[in-house]
Amino acid sequence: MDSVTIIGVASIVTAGLTTGIGCMMPALGEGKSVSSALSSIAQQPDAAPTITRTLFVGLAMIESTAIYCFVVSMILIFANPFWNHIIAK
CATH assignment of the domain containing 64: 1.20.20.10
pLDDT digits (tens, 9 = 90+) for 36-64: 999 999 999 999 999 999 999 999 999 99
Has residue 65 got a pLDDT over 90?
A: yes
Within a domain: residue 85? no
Within a domain: residue 43? yes
Within a domain: residue 89? no
What's residue 8's pLDDT?
85
- One-character DSSP codes across 6-70: HHHHHHHHHHHHHHHHHHHHHHHHHHHHHHHHHHHHHH-GGGHHHHHHHHHHHHHHHHHHHHHHH
**Structural domain harbouring 57:** 3-80
> Please, which pLDDT band fits residue 69 given cuts at 50, 70 and 90?
very high
What's residue 83's pLDDT?
78
Within a domain: residue 86? no
Within a domain: residue 37? yes
Within a domain: residue 88? no
Has residue 84 got a pLDDT over 80?
A: no
Say how many domains are in the chain.
1
